[in-house]
Amino acid sequence: MDFQNAIDSYLEKTGFPSFSPKAFLFDMDGVLYDSMPFHAKAWKEAFAHVGVAFSEYDVYLNEGRTGKTTVNEAFTAQLHREATDDEIQRIYADKAEIFMSISRTNPMPFAKEVLETLKKSGKKIVLVTGSGQKSLISKLNETYPGIFSPENMVTSFDVKYGKPHPEPYLMALQKAGVQPNEAVVVENAPLGVQAGVGANIFTIALNTGILRDEDLSSAGANVVLPSMEELYSNLSHLLEL
């Protein structure tokens, strides 16, 4: 993977004179945890229970939307009306229950190696997730000891808009105390990529799921890589900048 062309286009597009990453901003689902297959199955099944066809691919395309928006998108597309609040609540509760029953904590292969290498190199690390589980920090500390604390996390509790709005990544820049051209976003979803790019940050998309690379590059990703392992193999290049 040749990062130099991607960096040149990033600088040309943003007008920044230089790119020198000091902070790495990580999405969680589909990046630090291989959790998207469980979300996809759960959404598909919950929609099927109310007669709405919503494929696993649809779930990946919509990753990052709130439960309410996801249900309304599906209803509008297929039933040509928005869902009622009652329908939204029931479908989302059903999805959450299915997800709880099937999901396992699967760390993304090579995420630990990437995080530890960055930490050793003195880079700042910030988690930026639309998730709002209360147990998030203890789960993260179990999987990635010594990396995350509330000071370097932006969750659904912190933001008003959420992805694809740039707000969560702008907050992450503030937490890290860096400028947009001193950071790298690592995302797996088109809406997350839009948020990173909207904040003028160099955005690496990891295609860890069932999307086409085109879904991520058309969202504006500066680089699309097939896996966290591929990012790990290329990390030294980013650390030299």
Residue ranges binding Mg ion (CB under 5 A): 27, 29-30, 188-189
- State which residue, 173 or 185, has the beta carbon closest to Mg ion: 185
Report the residue number whose CB is nearest to Mg ion: 30
CA distance linking residue 238 with residue 155, whole number of Å: 26
Q: Rounded to the nearest whole angstrom, what is the least distance from the CB of residue 29 to Mg ion in the complex?
A: 4
Q: Rounded to the nearest whole angstrom, what is the least distance from the CB of residue 127 to Mg ion in the complex?
A: 11
Q: Rounded to the nearest whole angstrom, what is the least distance from the CB of residue 91 to Mg ion in the complex?
A: 21
Find the farthest-apart pair of alpha carbons in the chain and give their distance in angstroms, rounded. 53
- State which residue, 79 or 96, has the beta carbon closest to Mg ion: 96
Q: Rounded to the nearest whole angstrom, what is the least distance from the CB of residue 224 to Mg ion in the complex?
A: 14
Instruction: Residue 69: count other Cβ atoms within 10 Å of its Cβ.
Output: 13
SS3 letters across 113-178: HHHHHHHHCCCEEEEECCCCCCCHHHHHHHHCCCCCCHHHEECCCCCCCCCCCCHHHHHHHHHHCC
- State which residue, 19 or 30, has the beta carbon closest to Mg ion: 30
- State which residue, 75 or 169, has the beta carbon closest to Mg ion: 169
